[in-house]
Amino acid sequence: MLARHHDPIVAIATAPGRGAVGIVRVSGKGLAALVQALCGRTLKPREATYLPFRDAQGQAIDQGLALYFPGPHSYTGEDVLELQAHGGPVVLQLLLARCLEAGAATDPATGQPCLPGLRVAQPGEFTERAFLNDKIDLAQAEAIADLIDASTEAAARSASRSLTGAFSAEIHTLRDALIHLRMLVEATLDFPEEEIDFLRKADAHGQLSNLQQTLASVMQRARQGALLREGIKVVIAGQPNAGKSSLLNALAGAELAIVTPIAGTTRDKVQQTIQIEGVPLHIIDTAGLRDSEDEVERIGIARAWDEIAGADAVLFLHDLSRQDAMEYIAAEAEIASALAQKLPQTIPVIDVWNKLDRAPAAAAIAAEGAGQAETRRGVWLSARTGEGLDGLRRILLEVAGWQSAPEGLYIARARHIEALRAVSAHLQEAADQLQAQGPALDLLAEELRLAQNALSAITGEFSSDDLLGVIFSSFCIGK
């Protein structure tokens, strides 16, 4: 534990701006003297007390509720004091300054500062204290931030399940089974002449196979949970006036982008996050792709290609009303060629044939392809009337990799997926060793040890200070 982890900390624990209630939170060891200085009295544990909050001269800053949580029965595991006042920014800043002032002031009973070393908390430091004091594990700590940042109801519910320990319980079940198998393998190292029969009788192969099957199930659920958290980035691309902005508006259900018959209306990206079955999709409308003499439009087109390059999926929008125009067909071929060159094959391109309401007979022409690859998905729709939008939504879910949400889905992060992949790789190496003739049991034991370390990194039982710094720095101050 770093030296700063022993410092008492204080911060405003509510969001910036005005509100009905604002909270200033203090955490540290031995807050009794500070409580007396701030509240003018002792407080009963876990009982709200209505009283004035006074400055050093005895003048009331505000009146509100004070709550005292003696450690270890608190959020951080340390003593915690919460001052709940009116949520004006100035009031909360005055209370924060008063806490720092009172902490440095001399306690008449001891002649020492009331709370020496009290400082303003860094982002996420309260939750970091909770982790370091074993109130929560690392996956639960991350779930707190995910719950706050959730962009859909499904993501919020999944983050809540992770916060209660659902994901951690799955990891602990895997870890316990892995530890049991490690003990079995390492015990055989002391009996080299009987090791193979010993492992066979203990069904080490069956235990390892069951571990891999359980891990596969956890990975599948974790991928779905990560999808709920992250979503995917979908870029709408195509020629000017193909209906890109209209499609964005139709998917979002709001007039977000300006729609006119004038080519080049959209000159910069317009982004909106929508949800389909709880999965967040970050839809980006871009400038029409064409050669242009307008400097501003050229910048917008360059930015469009930048967005396309970073997309998880691209909606290539085609205008059914212009399918017979030779100039339009040639431009389509150029865009298709550029997409093929600039995008990896792993990034799906979905052909969207728009303006079905203006050219209902053109669907058959569009189906012939215009260079469409056999593996490319396609959908025919009208962004103006909404016809065919449900089909596009279904395709987007398929592209995202979403399956019907299993019961009790938990939130997960990219680092969790990477850790589970590492576990899977180590278990496969272990299985290969176990199946080989004359297996090297020391190598088998090492692969199992590495698999356990990768699992433990998810819950923070095996982690570095650098990892903790990255995770908690993304939290808000006061949390």
Amino acid at 16: P
Q: Is 42 annotated as a binding residue?
A: no
CA distance 146 to 350: 30
CA distance 415 to 427: 18
CA distance 289 to 308: 11
Q: Is 241 annotated as a binding residue?
A: yes
Q: Which DSSP state fits 136?
A: S
- Compute the C-alpha angle 430/432/436, nearest 5°: 120
Handedness of CA 195, 201, 203, 205 (dihedral sign): positive
Q: Is 292 annotated as a binding residue?
A: no
Angstrom distances, CA of residue 91 to CA of 81, 298, 440: 17, 49, 68
β-partners of residue 65 are: 50, 84
Q: Is 265 annotated as a binding residue?
A: yes
Q: Is 260 annotated as a binding residue?
A: yes
CA 427 to the chain's CA centroid: 27
Q: Is 244 annotated as a binding residue?
A: yes
β-partners of residue 51 are: 64
Q: Is 158 annotated as a binding residue?
A: no
Q: Is 164 annotated as a binding residue?
A: no
Q: Is 64 annotated as a binding residue?
A: no
Q: Is 456 annotated as a binding residue?
A: no
- What is the distance between the terminal CA atoms of the chain, rounded to a whole angstrom? 19
Q: Is 478 annotated as a binding residue?
A: no
Q: Is 382 annotated as a binding residue?
A: yes
Q: Which DSSP state fits 279?
A: E
Q: Is 98 annotated as a binding residue?
A: no
Q: Is 233 annotated as a binding residue?
A: no
Other C-beta atoms closer than 10 Å to the C-beta of 391 total 15
Kindly provide the b/e burial profile for residues 402-439, where b requires at least 16 CB atoms within 10 angstroms of the residue's own CB: beebeeebbbbbebbbebbebbbebbebbbebbeeeeb
Task: Enter the tokens of residue 62.
Answer: 């505000």
Q: Is 70 annotated as a binding residue?
A: no
Q: Is 242 annotated as a binding residue?
A: yes
**Non-local CB neighbours of 82 within 8 Å, separated by 6+ positions:** 13, 23, 24, 25, 26, 66, 67, 69
Q: Is 123 annotated as a binding residue?
A: no
**Where do the H-state alpha helices sit in 24-83?**
32-39
Q: Is 44 annotated as a binding residue?
A: no
Q: Is 29 annotated as a binding residue?
A: no
Q: Is 246 annotated as a binding residue?
A: yes
Q: Is 202 annotated as a binding residue?
A: no
CA distance 309 to 343: 6
Which residues does the annotation place in the binding site for K(+)? 241, 260, 262, 265
Which residues does the annotation place in the binding site for Mg(2+)? 245, 266
Which residues does the annotation place in the binding site for GTP? 241-246, 260-266, 285-288, 382-384
Which residues does the annotation place in the binding site for (6S)-5-formyl-5,6,7,8-tetrahydrofolate? 25, 82, 135, 479
Which residues does the annotation place in the binding site? 25, 82, 135, 241-246, 260-266, 285-288, 382-384, 479
